[in-house]
Structure 1
Amino acid sequence: MKLRRRLIEAMIAVIGVVLMVSCGGHGTAPSNSPHANQIPLVSTDDLPAAQPGEVHLFGINDLHGNLEPPDGSNGHVGAYQAGGAAYLATHLAKLKAAYPAGAVLSAGDNVSASPLISALFHDEPTIDYLNSLGVSASAVGNHEFDHGTAELTRLQQGGCAADGCSPGQPFTGAAFPYLASNVTDVNGQLPPGLKPWTMLTVGGHKIGVVGTVTRATADIVMPDAIRGYSFGDEADAVNKYVPEMVAAGAETVVALVHDGGAQQTHGAAIDYNGCTNISPNVTILANRIDPRVKVVFTAHTHLAYNCVIGGKVVTQAASYGRLITDVSLRFHDGTVDAKAVNRVVTRTVTPDPAAAKLVAFYSDQARPRAAHVIGTTAGPLSNEPTPGGDSPLGDVIADAMLAAMAPDHAVAAFMNPGGVRADLSTGAITYEQAYTVQPFGNQVVTVALSGEQILNLLEQQWDNKTTPGVLSVAGITYSYSDAAPKGHKILDDTVRIAGQALNPAAVYQVSTNNFLAAGGDGFSVFTKGQQNAVGPADLDAFNAYLASQAKIEPPASRVQRR
């Protein structure tokens, strides 16, 4: 299947800073801070009593099918281990018990780019799990479009996938509406099965909920998956429907916005309930949204913050089910007050039995394939960028793409940072681990580019609007000057390809995935070359390369920053 991506995405595009990483860095900066343990734990212990007229909304985002507790830095919030479907269910149950006038909301990317336990079954386990949590509504995220609008409709409405039914009970689809107010075709219609907004009645109060997805979806999803649809301005879409919701009786409005930003703490610990130097796009968005919207749940950057901007509560709950945003709305004297706290989904609570049973069932179904060992690494392969910007694991994936297309005369390869979703530790590499690293199902292809086009491609790392960042590479080395003006950062005389100095007039066959070849992540130079060959799926190429090597050594950086 064609997927894509990228991700992550954007985490830094939103800040306007060049970050040498890949929706998708996956928002784990807090756990890497030497001062992370200075941030006190806020979880679901000692919940304050609800005040009269108080309603609670429990927000999550960017779950990405992480039903099992995520590993490594992706499984922490600061110093605290966090995440896992059974633990998330327990914490939500505690919140619902304390605040029965409550509703669960998601800001999107519930599915896709998922671990094998969910992805192997077309993410149906995750939708079933969200149904069990009683999710009331979700924004559609960019990853919900990964397999195309027809598959998104199936996830909403149920039925078997094209290649057959998954094990377990018949899949009946999401019991909650997906909201996509800024996604329309040429006739102004939303994708089938989606809605722009919904109305909730919680604690006797009517709350309008509207959803949007990042406009960057047009650049970070395979074109075929979203053909015919455009992604409009998010604030405009929210504002368009606010009068409609108010006319329908909404006492207040909440926006689920699958877009977001980041705090900038300049090396200090990141408080998951802080709002330090929040990136400007978040402030601009909040100020542009209709003042009748009291709460904006954001997403996409996988980071945590808790802000009040322009009289609105603006939050994000990291990713992978590690945080719950607990928003309290207090209705009194014809007004509505809002406040929020991000609560850590610790693993110190008793796992929810029903959620644990669901996870165990699909884990057992996936285990025979998941546990198969396909290779070995002599040291950890990190997805974190080197000082030059490429990552060790990204470079190994580029090696795999180059090896796969060498029979088609490829001499170099390029890998987008957002397409690498996890690290690999030292030792045996299982199919499940390899899948978690590369879950998108892209095809490996060759594209003919001139040397001059390759130089232009490398320069695009600083001017593409979706994910500014350095591509991981194979068969090519170069240096760049970070201080040089945009368009002149690459030091031309340092670029070597296939062991030789780059010739601007020569034509080279380069290997990449079909997401980048289609201009994904804003790398439009690829579309100016001739695509000459289609190879294996990226995961198959990666697995074949791992199997062909006695032991993978972590490579030295191929990109030098001067």
Structure 2
Amino acid sequence: MKSLTKRTGGITAAIAAGTVAALFALPATPAQAADAADKVTPVAEKKKPKTVDLQILGFNDFHGHLQSDSPGTVLTKKGEVEAGGAEYLSTKLATLRKGEKNSLTLATGDQIGGSPFLSGLFKDEPSIDALNRMKVDAAVVGNHEFDEGIPELLRMQYGGNHPTEGAFDKDGYSGANFKMLAGNVKYKKNAKVTKPKNAKKYGSWFSSSTGKTVLPPTTVKVVNGVKVGIIGVVTSDTPQLVAQAGIKDVTFTDEVKAANLAAKDLRKRGVKSIIALVHEGGLAPEGATFDYKCNNGSGANLTGPIVDIAKKLSPSIDVILSGHTHNSYVCDIKDPAGNSRLVTSDLSYGKTVTEINLKLSKKTGDVIRSSVKAKNVVVDQKQKKAADQTKIIAKWQKLAGPIANTVVGDITADIKRSESRDSESSLGDLIADAQLASTKAAADGGAQMAFMNPGGVRADLTFAGSAAGEGNGKVTYGESFTVQPFGNLLVSLDLTGKQIDTLLEQQWSKQTDGTTKFLHLGVSEGFSYSWSRSAAIGSKVDASTIKLNGETIVPGTTYRVTVNSFLADGGDGFAVLPEGKNRAGGGEDLEAFNAYLKANSPVTGPTPNRVTALD
């Protein structure tokens, strides 16, 4: 990444466009002053209708997947279909908008972060450019928008060149045209609020009711005379999912409390049609297709945090768009007043889009709940590509080419990650091996073992050559970057044998809906242990089976352990790691991985049998 610091240029000025037009400011309160409202001018009609038709197009967890070769497939009733990518997503959105007088396009978090090489290398500026051209109207931030901290998130919204990398192309970066929302991310009481350079009215939405949020909690669109309020909240688990250093000045409050406060504020301002964007989600039944529905009013067969959240969100909220879990569903989960309410999510990487159609009452200004209908639509790759997205991709490919296509090593076959994150994987173990090799020498940290979080492994390493023509078995820098795009530093620290046991037990955690979450750590060569499927949380691992090079780990003995900086800060709920002593910083995780591939080529992925699961 340091090689990028001398590049010049910037992002093409973002095109301000939307399906709703004529921007104007809502009157009165400070919160309203910052809340631009887009007015849709209707086509002249013979009679004044009593209702207004509104289409809402939603998608979530795009994660910077600009290119169509990375998103993957969608499971349909007829089999798997290749889908996703910016070129096809943009076309599908435009196609769905045809014939609609009023349409809003809303994104439900993780638009950026954890991105493939083409976007991640340029700090996701290419993805914001692509989303601008897709005519996104508003978006809630996801946990990945906080991967590089608050200042970088604000730069994504308001523009400005990267503070260390500078401009990536000749035009510089002008920011997102759509408003980003974060109603439950508040500055701490004594935190210094630094106004972003390009944000003249930053903080104008601060209020006694919703607090000093990093980004606005709401925005309002005026659709043919009817105000439509949009609320955005992100998962309160975000502090467990991102590095702590970047979020030290803020707190992530309860999603329901924050959204309900925002809804109350909107109602006071005369807004009765309210949509909530919640970057937290649910899990559809195993094997569910992209168009899975649960319509009996209870969210039956849908599990996960969104079910409980939906049941508690204020009845004044009419529609809920969720995300985060990369699951696709359209459900009816009754609100606290017992009324039917739509809760949706689509897949990820632009593979599907949720289309919602509803009617707004011109008399009451509210959503007519009985009119709300929704379905999830596949973004297949058989449709025409959007020319402007193709142009964006080509522009950044040209800048990235010399770096992306550099071969860093060879592999003998595909090396797979665990997509479900609850099983040992060859790639997770391989990365742990690379991190141990990088920090094993006394001068580099003196590590004896290493662990890798499964969520940090973003793609498989595939044997087949890419369109770049590097050939089969060749791993390019672009491919290895896509595997580990976060730029974490390695940290070596002291843990006792007892703390290592605790670390392993913290792979399992009880969720608010009663389910168990299991994040299976990748482990380095020479480390092994057994765990029980039937044992209670906190007692899953048999301490006598935890071994290093065949020797049982001793509870009172101190060992040197390497993890990435995300884990070292307690990420993913591994709270014991911040207790580690005598920290020593290492190099970047990607550099360690590439050095290992080069030194050991051709590399065969390790058999994932270092950990044994017992009944």
**Fold shared, TM-score > 0.5 on shorter chain:** yes
The aligned residue for residue 559 of structure 1 is 611
| CA-CA distance at 1:298 after TM superposition | 0.4
Aligned to 1:241: 262
Q: Give the secondary structure class of the aligned counterpart of 1:224.
A: helix
Q: Point out where structure 2 has 5 or more consecutive residues left out of the alignment.
A: 2-49, 190-209, 295-299, 335-339, 464-472
Which digits, 9 at most, give the CA deviation of each residue in 1:3-42, with x for residues without a partner? Answer: xxxxxxxxxxxxxxxxxxxxxxxxxxxxxxxxxxxxxxxx
Specify the structure having the higher radius of gyration (Cα). 2
Pick from 332, 339, 342 the counterpart of residue 373 of structure 2.
339
Which of residues 391, 394, 399 in structure 1 aligns to 2:433? Answer: 399
Q: For residues 61 and 531 of structure 1, what CA distance do their matches in structure 2 show?
A: 41
Query: Which stretch has the larger CA shift, 94-103 or 253-262?
Result: 94-103
1:365 alignment counterpart: 399
Look up the match of 2:12. none
Task: Write the mapping of 1:118-517 to structure 2, written as runs, cut at 5 A.
Answer: 118-162=119-163, 163-187=165-189, 189-190=211-212, 192=214, 194-265=215-286, 268-275=287-294, 277-310=301-334, 311-332=340-361, 334=364, 336=368, 337-384=371-418, 389-407=423-441, 408-426=445-463, 427-463=473-509, 468-474=518-524, 475-517=526-568
Q: 1:57 to 1:386 in 2, by over 3 A?
A: closer
* Further displaced range: 343-352 or 450-459: 450-459
- Output the CA distance in 1 between the equivalents of 2:537 and 2:407: 44
Say if 2:422 and 2:518, in contact at 8 Å, map to a contact too.
Answer: no
1:89–1:203: structure 2 CA closer, same or farther, 3 Å change rule? farther
Q: 2: distance between equivalents of 1:388 and 1:52?
A: 48
Residue correspondence of structure 1 range 16-35 to structure 2 within 5 A = none
> What is the CA distance between 1:230 and its match in structure 2?
0.8
Give the counterpart letter for 1:287 in structure 2: K
How far, CA to CA, are the matches of 1:543 and 1:387 in structure 2?
A: 23
Secondary structure in 1 matching 2:137: strand
**Structure 1 position 153, deviation (Å):** 1.1
CA RMSD in angstroms, aligned pairs only: 2.2
Residues 145 and 467 (structure 1 numbering): CA distance in 2 closer, same or farther, change over 3 Å? farther
User: Any conservation in 2 of the 1:77–1:322 contact (CA below 8 Å)?
Assistant: no
Contact 1:104/1:134 (8 A) holds in 2: yes
SS in 2 for 1:98: coil
**Cα offset, 1:168, TM superposition:** 4.5
Distance 1:113 1:385 in 2: 14
Deviation of 1:157 after TM superposition, in Å, equals: 0.9
1:16 is matched with none
1:55–1:203: 8 Å Cα contact kept in structure 2? no
CA shift for structure 1 position 505: 2.2
**AA paired with 2:179?**
P
Q: Is the 8 A contact 1:388 1:561 kept in 2?
A: no
Q: What is the match of residue 55 of structure 1?
A: 54
State the shift of 1:343 in Å.
Answer: 0.6
1:259/1:299 contact within 8 Å kept: yes
Question: In the aligned structure 2, how far is the partner of 1:146 from the partner of 1:464?
Answer: 24
Give the deviation of 1:67 after TM superposition: 0.7
- The verdict on how the C-alpha distance between 1:238 and 1:460 changes in structure 2, with shifts beyond 3 A counting, is same
My pick for the range that moved more, 530-539 or 334-343, is 334-343
1:425 corresponds to which letter in structure 2? T
Cα distance in 2 between the residues matched to 1:128 and 1:100: 25
Structure 1 residue 182 displacement after superposition: 0.7
Shift of 1:87: 0.7
Contact 2:509-2:517 at 8 Å conserved across structures: no
Whether contact under 8 Å (2:140, 2:180) holds in the other structure is yes
Q: 2:35 corresponds to which residue?
A: none
Aligned mates of 1:252, 1:395 — CA distance in 2: 50
Residues 168 and 203 (structure 1), Cα distance of their counterparts in 2 relative to 1, 3 Å cut: farther
Q: Deviations over 1:450-478 (max 9, x none)?
A: 11211111111123769532211003111
Residue 555 of structure 1 and its aligned partner are, at CA, apart by 1.0
1:110 corresponds in structure 2 to 111
The Cα shift of 1:271 comes to 4.3
Q: Aligned partners of 1:492 and 1:224: how far apart in 2?
A: 32
How far is the alpha carbon of 1:288 from its aligned partner? 0.7
Normalising by structure 1, what TM-score? Answer: 0.87
Contact 2:61 2:324 in 1 (8 A): yes
What is the count of residue pairs matched by the alignment? 510
SS of residue matched to 2:293: coil
1:61–1:110 contact (8 Å) kept in structure 2: yes
Letter in 2 for 1:98: G
Change (3 A) 1:52 1:64: same
> Are the equivalent residues in 2 in contact too, given 1:82–1:347 (CA < 8 A)?
yes
Deviation of the 1:553 alpha carbon: 1.1
Q: Helix, strand or coil: the match of 2:58?
A: strand
> Which has a greater percent of helix?
1
- Going from structure 1 to structure 2, the CA distance change for 1:191 and 1:262 (only over 3 Å counts) comes to same
What is the CA–CA distance in structure 1 between the aligned matches of 2:250 and 2:357, rounded to whole Å? Answer: 35
CA distance in 2, matches of 1:385, 1:350: 30
Shift, 1:411, TM fit? 1.2
Shift of 1:52: 6.7
| Matched-pair contact (CA < 8 Å) for 1:464–1:522 | no
2:456 touches 2:486 (CA, 8 Å); kept in 1? yes
Report sequence identity in percent: 38
**Displacement of 1:280:** 4.8
Alignment check: 8 A CA contact 2:282 2:303 kept: yes
Shift of residue 413, structure 1, vs aligned partner: 0.6
Q: Distance in 2 between matches of 1:199 and 1:230?
A: 25
Question: Which of the pair has the greater relative contact order for Cα pairs under 8 Å at 6+ separation?
Answer: 1
Q: Is the 1:376–1:551 contact (alpha carbons within 8 Å) kept by the matching residues of 2?
A: yes
Whether 2:542 is the aligned partner of 1:543: answer: no
Identify the range of structure 1 (453-462 vs 385-394) with the bigger mean alpha-carbon deviation: 385-394
